[in-house]
Structure 1
Amino acid sequence: MEDTLLHSLSNLKPSPFSYPKPHSFSWHHHDHFPALSRPRTLHFPTLSSKTNTISLPPKPLKTQEIPSIYTPRPPQSRSHEPPNSEFQEIMLYLDSIGLDIFSLINHHRPVVLSASLPNIKSIIDLLTSMNFTPQEFRRIISMCPEVLTSTPSTVTPVITFLLREARVNGSDLKHVINRRPRLLVSSVKYCLRPTLYFLQSIGLEEVKRHTYLLSCSVETKLLPRIQYFEKIGFSYKDAVSMFRRFPQLFNYSIKNNIEPKLNYFVVEMGRDLKELTEFPQYFSFSLENRIKPRHQCCVEKGLCFPLHTLLRTSQEEFISRIDVCCNSSVPLRSSPLYSVNCDVDSSTSTE
């Protein structure tokens, strides 16, 4: 299936796409744009209500610098912003395929200005040849507008890499790209392949299940997180083990997620760091909505559950365990019912 897909990409031809016709509206004669039968005025962020024309910034914008981990854009034939007529044509086309042009202009104007209509149409042809629906394409653009500046010649190597090196099944390719559209604009040589080798080197099996990590930089994102856990007392082996057990941990912010939860774990809960090596999923739970309330409930009842029991169980199961431990006699540790009816630490139970 992968070979068939790659063959179809290499022989890509523009494919029909059932986009609605652009919403029509009337422009002044000096815009040289035909007025159609059903007028509709598009109010772009820079549209003048008096002249009904689009005013671009007087000075050309500097070319946006792209990190080396992303595929460089092909050189542009123009050193300045596109003329009004071309910009209007791009906006009409993007609007006709259902994209939110107001959001694109407000938040990603440099990207839109550096794109060309032929490139935009060619990338749409590529994605539709891979059976992406218009709705999926709109979602991809909203998450990664830089796709508008890419071309089939820059995207096809990414698809080939995912299928042949990352071992993604052809039937899963759409899901992989929908989950992480930034893969499409990442450099195979400087980002995707080095990250793949790094994940394999730490023993992460089946990287194809964690392709969302492939667009991450090893130097600026992956390694710093491992080094952070080393600095706070984990050995390199234990730190790597945590990420191997729970690769999603690579995507968590150190300042906003890992650090506050770690401080609460050590200071307020007073628990052993070794528990985190066995249950790194601890960092995936909400500090305010799950960790604190359940820990405080256990403190009030004089109980101490293992981390996985404390956090993974549903609210109903958690309350049931609390009720069993507080309102019934606690089985002896030697009893086979101990771990089932009252999974608590021996220091808090009375035998």
Structure 2
Amino acid sequence: MSTSWKQCSKWALWMLQSQGRVKCCIPLYRMEVLSRWRSACGVSFMRFTSGGVPSGNFGVRPGWLAEGGRFHRYSSLAAGEVEVDVELVEVDAPVEGEASVSEVDREASLGFLKILGLKDEKLTRLVRKYPMVMSRSFKDGMLSLLQTLNVVGISEQLAPRILDKNPQLIFRILERNVYSDNLAYLKSCGLTPKQLERVVRIYPQSLGASKQLQLQPTVEFLLSLGVTEVKIGKVVSLSPYYLGYRHDISLLPKVTFLLSIGVKKENLGKLIMEQPSILCLSIGENIMPKLKYLESVGVERARLGEMICRYPAMLTSNLDTLKLKVDFFGSKGLVGKNLVNLLTLHPDLLGRSLDSLNSGFVNVQKIGFTQDEVCSILKMHPTVLSSTETHLRKKFDFLTTVMNRSLKEVLTFTAFVTYSLERRIKPRHRVFTWLLAEGLLPQKNYSLRTIIGGSEEYFRDRYLGLHPLAEAMYKEPSEVKAK
């Protein structure tokens, strides 16, 4: 978040006044411009007043303030959500009426700007508004920035894009002259060239941020929460705005809030790695409305942390979309405790589209279940909504035609819908059929739960040990038939 130069001018004027460099009749917010004139060097000189009393003549332009024969230069980059880093440096003031840039130098400067990709109206507008782009110092600074970007593997085209969209930001980055150290530090944190390029493209302010006040403390804070060194590059590249925060002011309160609603401290790192932008969300505007809505439909506050850990993206989703999906489950008969259990244990369903959820519900109905029966299955195994009609059809056709069992038997053993047809259902049915045919099991009607539901260890101990060929039958029935 960059701050307007007008606001920065007020802050800088206030600092100059507090240091006794400028005499102003405060309050500064009441200052008015009495007169304005422009020097040859492109600085707009103004006479300010407060309450009708003239307070002095100053030169003002983005990044510059001047009084008398001295210029006071400042640069400003947002250092978080609530503070701004401002520094003042005294430099010699340009002399009124100094010689203008030679035609040769002017053409060279224009050629350089064209090489950067600026053309026609954009170039003319930039030169008119920011004449300092014609100076040698600007050209040298841009060349240094481009070279630094190139060294770490970042496309040189990013700097011209920033210049085109936000010239003031480029000026501030060049004035700070810390971009080389910042890029080196981020690279040392494990960011790849591709990740670095994403950071600079999305949050170019990181090039001019303070490493000691912003970058390093924030990275160390994320690591202290459990983000691994291997994943820190991914987290920062997906949410570069972290680099503009002061962790003690902007991030720590959000961590404290997440802990207060039941997120366990040991899960914070995993939470951030799965959803890097989670600490960039506003508690009041983004997080609380969703949590209050979930509480309104019956989710206990103590279980909200559990939901967030299971599905962190829930907090970044749109509230209206969230409501539509909850309403969908309600329209299908999942209400009250059943709805709460569904949302708490399987909040990832809220990340599915309405079309996908509806298709999944319809697919189960097409097998031959009523809406109430589908709800009975979903209460225990909502992941069935991810199954295609073809997949379900093969599984249930095998149940009814090969195993000769009733479709309704699934309602007493709903876990059947979660098992693999090829890796679990067919092999176990094959072994049971063979054991019964060989007289190795009592002749009775075994339940679907008995055949399919036991653990792998129990099934091996209880059934595969009944005959040496049972293991082979379980794996490769063709070999047993050959023997």
The TM-score normalised by the length of structure 2 is: 0.48
Query: Alignment partner of 1:273: what SS?
Result: helix
Which amino acid counterpart does residue 310 of structure 1 have in structure 2?
Answer: V
Aligned counterpart, 2:357 = 258
For the Cα contact (< 8 Å) 1:239–1:277, is it kept in 2? no
Aligned counterpart, 2:415 = 308
For the Cα contact (< 8 Å) 2:360–2:388, is it kept in 1? yes
Aligned counterpart, 2:220 = 125
The structure with the greater share of residues assigned to helix is 2
Query: What displacement does 1:158 show?
Result: 0.7
For the Cα contact (< 8 Å) 1:245–1:280, is it kept in 2? no
Q: How many residues align?
A: 283
Query: What displacement does 1:224 show?
Result: 1.4
Distance 1:134 1:235 in 2: 43
1:13-52 aligned within 5 A: 30-31=140-141, 41-46=151-156
The answer on 1:273 being equivalent to 2:374 is: yes
Distance 2:241 2:401 in 1: 52
Distance 1:180 1:299 in 2: 43
Identity %: 14
Aligned counterpart, 1:20 = none
Which amino acid counterpart does residue 275 of structure 2 have in structure 1?
Answer: R
Distance 2:169 2:185 in 1: 21
User: Relative CO higher for 1 or 2, CA cutoff 8 Å, sep ≥ 6?
Assistant: 1
Distance 1:195 1:154 in 2: 20
Distance 1:318 1:297 in 2: 9
Which amino acid counterpart does residue 338 of structure 1 have in structure 2?
Answer: S
Aligned counterpart, 1:208 = 305
Q: 1:292 to 1:149 in 2, by over 3 A?
A: farther
The structure with the greater share of residues assigned to strand is 2
Distance 1:42 1:110 in 2: 14
Query: What displacement does 1:185 show?
Result: 0.8
Gaps of 5+ in 1: 1-28, 35-39, 48-52, 62-77, 330-334, 345-351
Distance 1:99 1:91 in 2: 9
Distance 1:219 1:251 in 2: 12
Larger Rg: 2
The answer on 1:156 being equivalent to 2:255 is: no
Query: Alignment partner of 2:329: what SS?
Result: helix
Distance 1:289 1:88 in 2: 56
Gaps of 5+ in 2: 1-138, 438-443, 454-483
Distance 1:138 1:187 in 2: 23
Deviations 1:205-260, CA, capped at 9 Å, x for gaps? 533222226624572342111112334x32543544532443332222323x3233
Query: What displacement does 1:154 show?
Result: 1.0
The TM-score normalised by the length of structure 1 is: 0.63
Query: What displacement does 1:138 show?
Result: 1.6
Distance 2:151 2:421 in 1: 53
Query: Alignment partner of 2:328: what SS?
Result: helix
Query: What displacement does 1:184 show?
Result: 1.0
Q: 1:175 to 1:57 in 2, by over 3 A?
A: closer
1:89-104 aligned within 5 A: 89=180, 90-103=182-195
Deviations 1:22-62, CA, capped at 9 Å, x for gaps? xxxxxxx934859xxxxx94442235xxxxx953355215x
Query: What displacement does 1:323 show?
Result: 3.0
Deviations 1:303-331, CA, capped at 9 Å, x for gaps? 436241131468533124443676659xx
Among 282, 287, 297, which residue is 2:388 paired with? Answer: 287
Query: Alignment partner of 2:165: what SS?
Result: coil
Q: 1:240 to 1:128 in 2, by over 3 A?
A: closer
For the Cα contact (< 8 Å) 2:195–2:234, is it kept in 1? no
Aligned counterpart, 2:470 = none
Among 241, 262, 278, which residue is 1:146 paired with? Answer: 241
Aligned counterpart, 2:323 = 223
The CA RMSD over aligned residues, in Å, is: 4.1
